[in-house]
Amino acid sequence: MKKVITTIGAVLLMTAGAVYANTADELIKALDADGDGQVSLEEAAANPDIEAQFAVLDANQDGYLTADELAAEPQPEETQG
Q: Where do contacts with Ca ion occur on this chain (CB under 5 A)?
A: 32, 34, 36, 58, 60, 62, 64
Instruction: Kindly state the smallest distance separating residue 44's Cβ from Ca ion, in Å.
Output: 9
Q: Pick the closer one to Ca ion by CB: 4 or 35.
A: 35
Instruction: Kindly state the smallest distance separating residue 18's Cβ from Ca ion, in Å.
Output: 20
- Phi and psi dihedrals of 58, rounded to 5? -80, 80
In order of 10, 64, 68, 79, the CA distances from 61 in angstroms are 39, 8, 13, 20
Beta strands in 1-81, from DSSP E residues, in sequence order: 39-40, 64-65
Instruction: Kindly state the smallest distance separating residue 58's Cβ from Ca ion, in Å.
Output: 4
Contact 31, 46 (CB under 8 A): yes
Q: Pick the closer one to Ca ion by CB: 34 or 49.
A: 34
Q: Pick the closer one to Ca ion by CB: 12 or 33.
A: 33
